[in-house]
């Protein structure tokens, strides 16, 4: 398969990104092609610094422009058609790469997805799914964690299906238990958005198990937790911040170690027509390596065709 | 002063509540009167079990009825006029007690407040303020954590003033730094509610310092963080759940210890015309003792008259 990577996005780009790609290459199969989008001269410099790695093992697509964090996601693709993101999404749309990942401007990643490969038929809004460690073992899929603020009830209902398919495809969970994040367990609890979403979700084809309070994120009782993108982003950041505080104080065990974002490196943009992975802005080389391996894993899980089939069946 | 306490509310009522009252009494002044609302026979039984404590040191108001967790908060006061909550709020309104606290049905506590003492003039909605431990020392005031879901922007703006007054009055923080909980620091970030609230807050008379991401809850950078009641309740429960998981695993230090809800015992309903304290449903005797001492502290902080003056000045 052909894994696309934006080398120019992220706080430590391009060095950390290229280093991550070199590290990932060692764990990929010989027939996996790593396609790097970015300034060729910048990429060559990092290879020179690293030594040992052979640049000819990678496909370099020279992109002289860079969409950075200050660019407007909407305008960036018109203003910078030769940027790594614009060219990368072009390759993804044309089928010249199978997946595309970046730790750069996540708003631009979203816009790039919408205007290139688009969403699977029937999907209202895409979303980002985070994997939060459970206390015992495994992870809870929390979605949306940052794409769709002011999420509509019918979109929340769909997030349940997206999360269910994701848990089934990539975590091998059969008939995943899907819950709605809420401030109480009983039906009728919550804000207007949740009350309306609950009514849609309880008639869904997936395994809706009702409302879940935040403690269930760390429990064994549910597999997928659905929430508004504003709420999910706050919850994810709250967990990250607390885990970091705890770890910084030397309070570390196997559970706390699993909160390291480097483990997964990037989150899939669910609902897109192709595999798009969005990484953390602060990604170091370890995180980038994980993001690349995660790209392959998600591609191989065949979630894209499963998702397309499910949404057609649910129409 | 006269501190009112509902003895019938909470998962471990009445035993834990009475025991908490007995423990608190030892730390109160001789001229502080503790007024217990509940079934007199039940209260007497707990005193007999405890031994040592003198029931005549307390004022008992016999209330044969109980509003429990299954009662509709709206209907309960009509259906059960002789309940501890109904009678307690009657005393509060009549000035026969100075504060009223309960670990029972929090919806009923809200309704009881609205229909007895009411809100200070100009306050749109009341809210609950939680105290979340900062990593170094002290606490961050987070509000609302559970009263007002689907909070309107002008209400969020007011929560900033309520939080500021609370931090000033009870935590002795001069000119508290008030922030809006958001998914990004820059102006213009967030959902529709936050974008609108930001515009109101930046023109406020209190010390608005902009948006705060969740990590700031544990930092020294802000004193008060304002959010929607649905969001705040989730964030508070998320922090509680994580802290509990961490503590349960033996990862405990001074920071983690401070997340014990027993330390404060109850949260004040800000915006009410009198001091109303809502306790955790699972309150044990230690938590109840703290809630009683907290009632006195908040009453003495004179927040009620400060609040009334501020809202008159802000009209």
Q: pLDDT of B60-98, one tens digit each?
A: 999 999 998 888 999 999 999 999 999 999 999 999 999
Spell out the residues 6+ positions from residue A143 whose beta carbon is closer than 8 angstroms to its own: A127, A128, A129, A130, A159, A162, A163, A166, A224, A225, A226, A227, A232, A270
Contact flag A235-B233 (C-beta cutoff 8 Å): no
B129 and B254 share one domain: yes
* Domain membership flag for residue A265: no
A141 and A250 share one domain: yes
Domains contained in chain B, number: 2
Best mutation target among A71, A217, A237, A242 (most B Cβ atoms within 10 Å) is A242
Contact flag B252-A252 (C-beta cutoff 8 Å): no
Residue-level pLDDT at B83: 97
Give residue-wise pLDDT tens across range A249-279. Answer: 999 999 999 998 888 889 999 999 999 999 9
A134 and A256 share one domain: yes
Peptide bond into A14 cis (omega under 30): yes
Best mutation target among A132, A236, A251, A258 (most B Cβ atoms within 10 Å) is A251
Spell out the residues 6+ positions from residue B99 whose beta carbon is closer than 8 angstroms to its own: B1, B2, B3, B4, B92, B274, B275, B276, B277, B295, B296, B298, B299
Domain edge (last residue) among A236, A260, A284: A260
E strand residue ranges, B14-125: 33-38, 59-62, 99-102
Contact flag A146-B234 (C-beta cutoff 8 Å): no
Give residue-wise pLDDT tens across range A48-96. Answer: 998 878 999 999 999 999 998 888 999 999 999 999 999 999 999 999 9
B32 and B100 share one domain: yes
Instruction: Tell me phi and psi for residue A62, to 5 degrees.
Output: -70, 120
Q: If you average pLDDT over every residue of chain A, what do you get?
A: 95
Total number of residues shown for chain B = 315
* Domain membership flag for residue A63: yes
Task: Single out the residue of A168, A155, A311, A139 nearest to residue A227, CA to CA.
Answer: A155
Q: For residue A314, is pLDDT > 80?
A: no
Contact flag A241-B218 (C-beta cutoff 8 Å): yes
Instruction: Tell me the shortest Cα–Cα distance from B251 to chain A, in angstroms.
Output: 5
Q: What is the mean pLDDT of residues A131-145?
A: 95
In this complex, the residue of B181, B194, B238 whose CB is nearest that of residue A214 is B238
* Domain membership flag for residue A19: yes
pLDDT-based confidence at A149, cuts 50/70/90?
Answer: very high
Contact flag B235-A234 (C-beta cutoff 8 Å): yes
**Chain B residue set in contact with A, beta carbons under 8 Å:** 135, 146, 149-150, 181, 183, 190-194, 213-215, 217-218, 228, 230-231, 233-235, 237-246, 249-253, 255-256
Residue-level pLDDT at A68: 87
Domain edge (last residue) among A240, A260, A280: A260
Give residue-wise pLDDT tens across range B204-225. Answer: 999 999 999 999 999 999 999 9
Pairing of the two strands A266-270 and A127-133: antiparallel
B282 and B190 share one domain: no
Residue-level pLDDT at B99: 98
Residue-level pLDDT at B269: 97
Contact flag B218-A245 (C-beta cutoff 8 Å): yes
In this complex, the residue of B135, B249, B256 whose CB is nearest that of residue A253 is B249
Q: Element (H or E) spanning B127, and its range?
A: strand B127-133
* Domain membership flag for residue B314: no
Contacts of A233 in chain B (CB under 8 A): 183
Best mutation target among B241, B253, B255 (most A Cβ atoms within 10 Å) is B241
CATH of the domain at B23: 3.40.718.10
Total number of residues shown for chain A = 315
Contact flag B242-A239 (C-beta cutoff 8 Å): yes
Residue B17 and residue B58 in contact, taking contact as beta carbons nearer than 8 Å = no
Residue-level pLDDT at A104: 92
Residue B224 and residue B138 in contact, taking contact as beta carbons nearer than 8 Å = no
Residue A206 and residue A176 in contact, taking contact as beta carbons nearer than 8 Å = yes
A89 and A185 share one domain: no
Domain edge (last residue) among B241, B260, B279: B260
Angstrom distance (rounded) from CA B184 to CA A72: 15
Instruction: Tell me the shortest Cα–Cα distance from B151 to chain A, in angstroms.
Output: 9
Domain housing B29? 1-123+271-302
Angstrom distance (rounded) from CA B298 to CA B300: 5
Mean pLDDT by 10 residues, chain B (315 residues): 96 96 96 97 94 92 93 92 97 98 94 96 95 94 94 97 96 97 93 97 97 97 98 96 92 91 91 96 94 96 93 77
Instruction: Tell me the shortest Cα–Cα distance from A107 to chain B, in angstroms.
Output: 12
- Is the pTM of the predicted complex or chain greater than 0.90? yes
* Domain membership flag for residue B43: yes
B275 and B201 share one domain: no
* Domain membership flag for residue A251: yes
* Domain membership flag for residue A266: no
Residue-level pLDDT at A315: 62
**Chain A residue set in contact with B, beta carbons under 8 Å:** 135, 146, 149-150, 181, 183, 190-194, 213-215, 217-218, 228, 230-231, 233-235, 237-246, 249-253, 255-256
Residue-level pLDDT at B182: 97
Q: What is the DSSP letter of A205?
A: S
Q: How many CB atoms lie within 10 A of CB B82?
A: 11
Give residue-wise pLDDT tens across range B171-217. Answer: 999 999 999 999 999 999 999 999 999 999 999 999 999 999 999 99
A173 and A118 share one domain: no
In this complex, the residue of A215, A231, A251 whose CB is nearest that of residue B256 is A251
A128 and A253 share one domain: yes
Contacts of A135 in chain B (CB under 8 A): 245, 249
B62 and B136 share one domain: no
B142 and B208 share one domain: yes
Contact flag B256-A246 (C-beta cutoff 8 Å): yes
* Domain membership flag for residue B312: no
Residue-level pLDDT at B32: 97
Q: Element (H or E) spanning B210, and its range?
A: strand B207-212
Contacts of A244 in chain B (CB under 8 A): 215
Contact flag A230-B135 (C-beta cutoff 8 Å): no
Contacts of B253 in chain A (CB under 8 A): 249-251
B292 and B206 share one domain: no
């Amino acid at each position: 398969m052909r894994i696309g990577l934006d080398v120019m996005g992220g706080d430590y780009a391009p060095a950390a990104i290229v280093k991550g790609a070199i590290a990932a290459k060692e764990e990929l199969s010989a027939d996996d092609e790593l396609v790097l989008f970015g300034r060729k001269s910048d990429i060559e410099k990092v290879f020179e610094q690293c030594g040992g790695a052979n640049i000819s093992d990678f496909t370099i697509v020279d992109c002289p422009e860079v969409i950075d964090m200050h660019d407007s996601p909407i305008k960036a693709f018109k203003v910078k058609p030769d940027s790594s993101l614009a060219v990368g999404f072009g390759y993804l749309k044309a089928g010249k790469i199978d997946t595309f990942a970046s730790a750069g401007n996540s708003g631009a990643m979203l816009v790039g997805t919408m205007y290139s490969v688009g969403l699977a038929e029937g999907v209202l809004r895409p979303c980002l799914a985070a994997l939060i460690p459970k206390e015992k073992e495994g992870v809870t899929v929390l979605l949306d964690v940052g794409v769709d603020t002011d999420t509509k009830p019918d979109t929340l209902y769909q997030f349940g299906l997206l999360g269910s398919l994701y848990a089934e495809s990539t975590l091998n969970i059969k008939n995943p238990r899907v819950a709605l994040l809420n401030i109480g367990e009983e039906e009728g609890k919550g804000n207007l958005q949740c009350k309306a979403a609950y009514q849609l979700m309880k008639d869904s084809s997936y395994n809706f198990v009702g409302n879940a309070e935040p403690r269930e994120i760390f429990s064994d009782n549910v597999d997928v937790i659905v929430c508004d993108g504003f709420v999910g982003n706050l919850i994810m950041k709250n967990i990250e911040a607390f885990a970091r505080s705890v770890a910084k104080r030397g309070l570390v065990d196997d559970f706390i170690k699993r909160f390291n974002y480097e483990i997964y490196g990037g989150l899939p943009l669910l609902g897109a027509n192709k595999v798009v992975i969005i990484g953390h802005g602060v990604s170091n080389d370890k995180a980038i390596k994980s993001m690349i391996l995660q790209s392959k894993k998600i591609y191989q899980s065949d979630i894209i065709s499963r998702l397309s089939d499910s949404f057609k069946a649910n129409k």
